[in-house]
Structure 1
Amino acid sequence: MIDLKNWYSSKTIWGALISIVASVLHFASIDLGTTDKSQLVDAVVNIAGALGGLLAVYGRVTAKATINSVS
């Protein structure tokens, strides 16, 4: 596996986190269906991607220094 991505872009990570939350909710007598879990994973991944993009733009706009390329 050569391709790299941020942890928040991983559906596996979000799926695992949502499964943990679903287990805790089930323990509290609140049940999420399989369809709800799948839709929640997709929504979280989309939101995380959008937030990552916004953070990148904000970081570049508010940066105090230029990017230096070392050769």
Structure 2
Amino acid sequence: MNENKPWYLSKTIWAALVSIIATLAAFFGITIDDGLRESLSSGLLQLVTAIAGIITIFGRVSASTKIS
């Protein structure tokens, strides 16, 4: 692993967060099957990636200095 990436673009992090949420949901009597967990992890990662892209574009458009 020589590449660096932000934590929020990690599939492992999102899968772990969904597992934590599913465990808490089960505590309250709500069951989430494995297929839904996979879908939630994938969907959340896609959403976060899209938001990061929008923030990046907004940052570049609103910047007051040139890239050299």
Superposition TM-score, scaled by structure 1 size: 0.88
- Give 2:53's aligned residue: 53
Aligned residue pair count: 68
Q: CA deviation at 1:66?
A: 2.8
Structure in which a larger fraction of residues adopt helix: 2
Q: 5+ unaligned residues in a row in structure 2: which ranges?
A: none
When Rg is computed on C-alpha atoms for both structures, the one with the higher figure is 1
CA distance in 1 between partners of 2:22 and 2:2 (Å):
32
Q: CA deviation at 1:40?
A: 0.5
Q: 5+ unaligned residues in a row in structure 1: which ranges?
A: none
Superposition TM-score, scaled by structure 2 size: 0.91
Q: Runs ≥4 in structure 1, deviation > 4 angstroms?
A: none
Equivalent runs, 1:11-26 vs 2, <5 Å: 11-26=11-26
Matched, 1:27 2:27: yes
CA distance in 2 between partners of 1:29 and 1:64 (Å):
52
Identity %: 37
Q: CA deviation at 1:65?
A: 2.5
SS at match of 1:5: coil
SS at match of 1:64: coil
- Give 2:5's aligned residue: 5
